Amino acid sequence: MLLILLLVVPLLGVLWFINFTAFLTNLKNDKSTHNQILLGSALTFIFIFAVIYFYVGTVH
């Protein structure tokens, strides 16, 4: 459980930030943002799953 809290959640945050900056760059340059939207959705799902998994692990 501690591995999720100290490694996975911050790693997802970094990936989320990199994806967001790429999204803003593509949006500014009038390029396609389809990949960043899909990746952002997937990272959000994984982040919420990791947080819920950590929470359930600490309740037991």
On whether the CB atoms of residues 45 and 32 are closer than 8 A, the answer is: no
**pLDDT classification of 60: cutoffs 50, 70, 90:** low
Flag whether pLDDT at 38 surpasses 80. yes
Q: 1-8: long-range contacts (C-beta < 8 A, 24 or more apart)?
A: 1/54, 1/57, 1/58, 4/50, 4/53, 4/54, 4/57, 5/54, 8/50
| Full residue range of the structural domain in which residue 19 is found | 2-59
Whole-number pLDDT of residue 31: 96
Q: What is the mean pLDDT of residues 20-47?
A: 95
Q: Total domain count for the chain? A: 1
DSSP SS3 for 37 = helix
pTM recorded for the entire structure:
0.80
Supply the pLDDT for residue 50.
87
